[in-house]
Amino acid sequence: MKRYSNKIAVSFFSLILALSLINCKAVDNANNKQKGAVIGATGGAILGAIIGNNVGKGGNGELGAVIGGVVGGGAGILIGNKMDKQAQKIEEEISGATVERVDDGIVVTFDENSGVYFDTNKSNINTASQTTLNKLAGVFQEYPDTNILVVGHTDSVGDESYNMTLSKNRANAVTNYLTNKGLSSGRFTTNWFGETQPKYDNTTAEGRAKNRRVNVAILPNQQMIENAEKEAQQN
């Protein structure tokens, strides 16, 4: 079942306006830190949507920096409107995925029962997943002013170190597939957690299937932020 939620925190004239609208997620290199620096401070809500109940339990400081924080004021409202449209487009194009609007970003979750999934112990992109990723690539091309975070997870079956590598390979497979569709590699950050960040109960078959997941978080890049700030100042 698709879940599409919108949570935007906006600061305006020293008052905080909380909007909640329901309409329809180890960092590789130094460039990732640079992306985080231009986005903002912390992205706890998006981090929670990606790693679930374990947010705050150790975590990954670099990942939090990449996700960034919420842009306030009129610029935040403009960014929110743009991200709303992109989230709605993803939900229209890709059935079965969970699409969430969280803060200034979008979190898309694919598990074994929807969208992008992998055969047991495999990390190659299968035919069904290619169809979904082709649609997602089309949306990313339509909305170029965003950065994209791809995060891989596994269930707890098997050796922990093996699962860490498996989640790395699966996350990289998704990133590589999308960049091979002509998307700039500079937009992407790839991360993986193996079995360490389950969102569901690994003692059940259903929970394990949901934990074998890939999250895609879509975040406003510096260009979108600057354009929104200029537009807000003109209004």
Band (6; pLDDT cuts 50, 70, 90)? very low
CATH class, 6-234 region: alpha beta
Task: State the Cα–Cα distance between residues 59 and 229, nearest whole angstrom.
Answer: 31
Task: State the Cα–Cα distance between residues 109 and 50, nearest whole angstrom.
Answer: 8
Q: What is the pLDDT of residues 135-153, one digit of tens each?
A: 999 999 999 999 999 999 8
Task: State the Cα–Cα distance between residues 189 and 50, nearest whole angstrom.
Answer: 14
Q: What is the pLDDT of residues 9-50, one digit of tens each?
A: 333 222 222 222 223 332 232 233 333 333 333 356 777 777
Among 1-15, 59-73, 94-108, which is the least confidently predicted range? 1-15
Q: What is the pLDDT of residues 192-215, one digit of tens each?
A: 999 998 888 999 998 888 888 888
Domain coordinates in residue numbering, the chain: 6-234
**The pLDDT value given to residue 43:** 54
pTM score:
0.74
Higher pLDDT, 59 or 156: 156
Q: What is the pLDDT of residues 90-128, one digit of tens each?
A: 999 888 888 999 888 899 988 776 678 787 788 889 888
**The pLDDT value given to residue 160:** 94
